[in-house]
Amino acid sequence: MSMIKVSSKVEEQVWRDLQALARESNCSISGALTEAIEAYVRRHRVRPEVMSHLEASMNAHETLGKRLAE
């Protein structure tokens, strides 16, 4: 996989914590950042099939939802 260079700003203490974790894990800063970004994306991305199940459930229980909202 090809790599790209990125630039960003982070809080100083967060940076120090990342550096310490990388040292403790015998990992590069680049490797630690890549792992962190991958985990963040996985955690925050909602798969399309999850959304379709949610929509189907909301449609199936629309009356109940309206009653609960009252």
Q: Residue 22's CB: how many other CB atoms inside 10 A?
A: 17
What single string gives the DSSP state of each residue in 6-27? ------HHHHHHHHHHHHHTT-
Q: Are 12 and 27 in contact (CB under 8 A)?
A: no
Tally of residues, the chain:
70
For residue 30, the model assigns a pLDDT of 94
For residue 18, the model assigns a pLDDT of 94
For residue 47, the model assigns a pLDDT of 80
pLDDT lower than 50: segments of the chain: none
> pTM value?
0.60
Distance CA 57, CA 51 (A): 10
